[in-house]
Structure 1
Amino acid sequence: MLQLHFWHKARLFSFKAIIGFLFLVLLFKVSIAQQIPTGKFPVTHLRFNEDTSKLQFAIISDIWGGNRPGVFEDAIEKLELLQPQFVISVGDLIDGKTYDPKLIKRQWDEFDAAIKPLEMPFFYVPGNHDIGNAIMEAEWRKRMGSPYYHFVYKNVLFLCINTEDGGKGGIKDEQVSYFKKVITENTNVRWTFLFMHRPVWQGNGDKQEGYENIERLLSGRNYFLFSGHHHTYLSVTKNGNKHFVLGSTGGGSDLRGEKFGEFDHITLVTLTRGEPKVVNLKLDGIIKEDIVNEQTHPITETLIEQNWFVPIAFVADHQMEKSIGAEIAFKNPTNYPLEITGDWGIIDSNYQIIPKEIKVTIPPQTEMIQKINILKKDNSTIDLATLPFLDISLTGKYIYNKTIYSIAASKKLLFSWKLIPPAKENETNNPYLYHDRDTSGMIYLKDPEYLSGPWYWSGAADGLMRFKMVKEDNFLYVLAIVNDDQWVNDKDPAKDILYLHLEDPNRVKHVISLSPWDDKFSIDGKGSIRANDIGFRKFFTDDLLMMEFKIPIEKVLKNDNTLRMNIGFRDQDNTPEKWVSTLFWKPLWGSKFDYKNSGTFILK
């Protein structure tokens, strides 16, 4: 493995000393020649920048995961101005998300072209976008050799760890054994630096995806660890050593500023004597290395995640209600007071909300429920069908060390009621709903309550789903119609898929799934609903997909005459890239967005 050493003598007083120095230089060159590994190695070249006797290198963070064009290119220009001795990454250098070898190669070719202007070496460290599957790992190994490695430079040990072992995540035993040998053989280095993509070190105990086995080997050693992945900066001390999660260098970010750890930057590390100096260089400024630390991180995380503000969806027993008594939950998980201000928004001029606005301080480690009442100004009945949701915008604010941390949050307060399926009409004696493509009474998923991959779904023109449920004697019929601009039938799971979620009378969840090309559906669940209980028919053309399910009422009806259902569609697109988004009518059951009685129907 590569070992680089440099000896410097300030003065040479004799011919003997000169000869000795030249011998050392020759030995140095031989040492390099003998210890460079054969085959592929994850570095562009080994012409290290030796303009200074001190150790100084730069780190770039995530480029992909919502890439913003031009930012990384600007960083490359700034690196050339800074002239560090070398540059190293913490992963997510390409978009990835594909099994296509040609596309993988093209992405790497584009990245390599982007870093070509760098005069100094560039060390690659893989992220989940770089090695997202076995095919991507094979391309990495073909181009660059092992995705994990080490080197010693100026008597400093550098450990480059692959948190995506096998393209599946984690650090396997083979990699742990490699670093055990490396660490054992390099006990006299003056410092150790670790680099990885996902901050698996944030786990507890033995829940660090294999890194705990490397962490134990570092006991008693001076080291710093750098990671990425979250696009949100953090500096903490663990086991007496500094651990960093870097921000972004062009990857997706709301860029709410240094105080929240959301900024594009280059990290510059300098080691002379004593502890290394770490500074974050914004592309337009300089940021202190502890800008988000153990004290401020709970504040910034709370405001960014917006979990301090949760409207509780209102589900009425009936469509027509005299008033709506809704609740908003506030939660302050930090050790500092949280001030909340704002109003509830306006539905229209016919409604009033009591109270009209809010200004409240939530003490540390406290939760609170705020009740609001919505009613018509003329006291007439409210039709919930005309009132789908209320947009609420509130501002959360903390003050720490005289610095104000404030972010506005917007969320929807949802209104619904327990739906009553209409009776099925059989005027043509056709057992299926869609014989005449009857779409009356359908619910359209133009504004789905659950949407994963929202940046990959451009609205109804990209993919539109609608459905309805009707009842007939002992059966329920669920008809779903999907329009999609691209029908994709690649290898699992890269295909379009329809999902139907049902609960049995004991509230056990069952998931029905099938693609437009499947003749049979699969059902996953440990309850009482079986595949042969459900009738199924589909109709599939170039412009639409129709699927109908015939469900025995006894298999889903609870003692209170209610049943629960959710329906969704996985929209796979392959042009111009492989993109996927998933839309559901209601939040996924059991998720943090789920709410009581979502997707509930009542039978009379």
Structure 2
Amino acid sequence: MDNTSMMIADAFAWTALRPWFGRLPEEMSGDYSFVIVGDRTGGAVHGVFEQGMEAAKRLNTAFLLTIGDLVEGYWTDEGEAHEEWERVDACLTGVGIPLFQTVGNHDYGTETMRKVWRERKGADYYAFRFGKTLFLVANTEPESEPDAEELASVQRVNRYLLANPQLSYEEAYKAAIREEYDPHYTEDALINPHIGEEQLAFFADVLEKHEDVEWTFLLLHQPAWKKANPAFERLEQLLADRRYTVVSGHIHHLEVTERNGAQYIQMGKTGGLSSFEGKGDIHHLLNVNMRGGVPEMEVILLEGEGGTDLLSHYVKVELIP
């Protein structure tokens, strides 16, 4: 990686580890494309994430960005956490395309997961610049964890899924817990973003030093704009005089919103469990074509299994003027 393109907070000066793979092209001029990958987990659907990686290879993209939740996670045993990351990291490096990661709640949801993230990837928020485009990659996850009983249930299902990846989450849950899977959650209950003061100070400094960019992307796992959140609102204020796009994941349901004259995109999923039914309940990638410094976006639907076409243009996301 060309380190002149990368920006890491002083809080992570203790480590040379970074949450990305590969190297960006050293010279970049003109138009280019990149791909954003949705949530993989919460009960990964067998083979869909791998299909997404194969599809990304065919899109002739400069790099990939993941929006978080690459592992089932929520482990309290370091060995199990490292073992799952070994499997996923092998898949990510095997793509052969530079790839940048955003931390999600499954990746970061226990003290053990946070420790393992730092041991494997170092920083949990950062920024980078590619040509005239600036990318802010935030950490929206609070440093908390579910109670012991809930964690034990989650881990039993995770172990069953990892040993039997062909099963659906509902099947694994029934086998591991001996009950029917009956989720009781709402979007409001799922969203609990946290952005600390150190992050805000870091992003403020990055934005001040890169006022000349043509477009800014803010990547964050949780759609923080859906709850009153003073820290996120302050981050929006820092972006107010720029042309920018915000992209999140977490809810596993594609949704595009206009806010403050900008696009806020909540990704669907790339292999993750279905959470809410409707048109946005799809497995997809987001292909972003930077043309004259302006993003043109299209959702790439991941179709079916086996020999079906992996690249089906589902909908073009129209840019808000």
TM-score range, shorter chain: 0.7 to 0.9
Task: Say if 2:95 is the partner of 1:71.
Answer: no
How is 1:35-434 mapped onto 2 (pairs within 5 angstroms)? 39-48=16-25, 53-167=30-144, 169-203=193-227, 207-208=228-229, 210-253=231-274, 260-273=279-292, 275-284=294-303, 285-290=312-317
Give 2:152's aligned residue.
none
Q: Deviations over 1:322-354 (max 9, x none)?
A: xxxxxxxxxxxxxxxxxxxxxxxxxxxxxxxxx
| Secondary structure of the corresponding residue to residue 107 of structure 2 | coil
Q: Point out the structure with the larger helix share.
A: 2
Distance 1:51 1:114 in 2: 27
Distance 2:43 2:231 in 1: 28
Give 2:309's aligned residue.
none
Deviation at 1:133, TM superposition (A): 2.0
Contact 2:74-2:113 within 8 A present in 1 as well: no
Larger Rg: 1
Contact 1:91-1:228 within 8 A present in 2 as well: yes
Alpha carbons of 1:55 and 1:49: their partners in 2 closer, same or farther (altered >3 Å)?
A: farther
Q: Deviations over 1:419-446 (max 9, x none)?
A: xxxxxxxxxxxxxxxxxxxxxxxxxxxx
| Secondary structure of the corresponding residue to residue 235 of structure 1 | strand
Deviation at 1:108, TM superposition (A): 0.7
How is 1:506-521 mapped onto 2 (pairs within 5 angstroms)? none
Deviation at 1:135, TM superposition (A): 2.1
Distance 2:25 2:80 in 1: 32
Alpha carbons of 1:83 and 1:154: their partners in 2 closer, same or farther (altered >3 Å)?
A: same
Alpha carbons of 1:254 and 1:134: their partners in 2 closer, same or farther (altered >3 Å)?
A: closer
Deviation at 1:132, TM superposition (A): 0.3
Q: Deviations over 1:516-561 (max 9, x none)?
A: xxxxxxxxxxxxxxxxxxxxxxxxxxxxxxxxxxxxxxxxxxxxxx
Bigger relative CO (Cα 8 Å, ≥ 6 apart):
2
Letter in 1 for 2:58: L
Distance 2:300 2:35 in 1: 10
How is 1:499-510 mapped onto 2 (pairs within 5 angstroms)? none
Alpha carbons of 1:52 and 1:167: their partners in 2 closer, same or farther (altered >3 Å)?
A: farther
Deviation at 1:47, TM superposition (A): 4.3
Deviation at 1:2, TM superposition (A): 3.8
Distance 1:249 1:50 in 2: 30
Q: Deviations over 1:377-422 (max 9, x none)?
A: xxxxxxxxxxxxxxxxxxxxxxxxxxxxxxxxxxxxxxxxxxxxxx
Letter in 2 for 1:275: V
Give 1:353's aligned residue.
none
Contact 1:76-1:117 within 8 A present in 2 as well: no
Letter in 1 for 2:52: A
Letter in 2 for 1:131: Y
Deviation at 1:52, TM superposition (A): 8.1
Give 1:447's aligned residue.
none
| Secondary structure of the corresponding residue to residue 159 of structure 1 | strand
Identity %, equivalent residues: 31
Distance 1:198 1:161 in 2: 10
Distance 1:87 1:50 in 2: 18
Distance 1:180 1:137 in 2: 25
Contact 1:200-1:209 within 8 A present in 2 as well: no
Alpha carbons of 1:50 and 1:246: their partners in 2 closer, same or farther (altered >3 Å)?
A: farther
Deviation at 1:209, TM superposition (A): 6.1
Letter in 2 for 1:178: F
Letter in 1 for 2:299: N
| Secondary structure of the corresponding residue to residue 280 of structure 1 | strand
Unpaired runs of 5+ in structure 2? 7-12, 146-192, 304-311
Contact 2:214-2:294 within 8 A present in 1 as well: no
Q: Point out the structure with the larger strand share.
A: 1
Q: Deviations over 1:10-62 (max 9, x none)?
A: xxxxxxxxxxxxxxxxxxxxxxxxxxx87111111214397984121000001
Deviation at 1:127, TM superposition (A): 0.5
| Secondary structure of the corresponding residue to residue 288 of structure 2 | strand
Distance 2:33 2:139 in 1: 23
Deviation at 1:208, TM superposition (A): 1.9
Letter in 2 for 1:267: L
Deviation at 1:69, TM superposition (A): 1.1
Letter in 2 for 1:121: P
Contact 2:65-2:102 within 8 A present in 1 as well: yes
Distance 2:250 2:258 in 1: 19
Alpha carbons of 1:200 and 1:175: their partners in 2 closer, same or farther (altered >3 Å)?
A: same
Q: Pairwise CA RMSD of aligned residues?
A: 2.5
Deviation at 1:99, TM superposition (A): 1.2
Deviation at 1:123, TM superposition (A): 0.5
Letter in 2 for 1:223: Y
Deviation at 1:167, TM superposition (A): 4.8
